């Protein structure tokens, strides 16, 4: 399963990343419920961007967060020194 980041979804909606490059065949894709809320709460520049994201979420599993998953995310963020800062290249995905 490949877990996508919110910036990745938003960049896809804006055409800054190519969908064909991001989604190789045969993989299962997911986002956390937090990512889903961040993206769907984003102020898209156009209705077309929002429609693309809505259609994309129809094909992506949404994972609920519990304490164990939260701890794993914290560990990964520390291990890979992941920051949530604007202007950085988006984190493409984690494979779990």
Using H for helix, E for strand and C for coil, what is the string for 2-56? EEECHHHHHHHHCCCCCHHHHCCCCCCEEEEHHHHHHHHCCCCCCHHHHHHHHHH
- Give the single-character DSSP code of 83: -
Structural domain total, the chain: 1
Q: Is the dihedral of CA 32, 87, 41, 25 positive or negative?
A: negative
Stronger pLDDT, 43 or 73, i.e. the higher one: 43
Range of the domain at 35: 2-95
pTM over 0.85: no
Convert the pLDDT of each residue in 53-79 to its tens digit.
999 999 999 999 899 988 987 887 788
Instruction: Considering only residues 82 and 25, tell me which one the structure prediction assigns the higher pLDDT.
Output: 25
């Amino acid at each position: 399963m490949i877990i996508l980041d919110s910036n990745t979804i938003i960049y896809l909606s804006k055409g800054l990343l190519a969908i064909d490059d991001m989604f190789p065949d045969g993989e299962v894709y997911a986002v956390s419920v937090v990512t889903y809320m961040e993206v769907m709460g984003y102020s898209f520049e156009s209705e077309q961007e929002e429609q693309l994201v809505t259609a994309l979420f129809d094909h992506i599993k949404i994972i609920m967060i519990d304490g164990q998953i939260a701890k794993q995310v914290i560990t990964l963020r520390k291990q890979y020194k992941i920051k949530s800062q604007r202007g950085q290249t988006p984190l493409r995905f984690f494979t779990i």
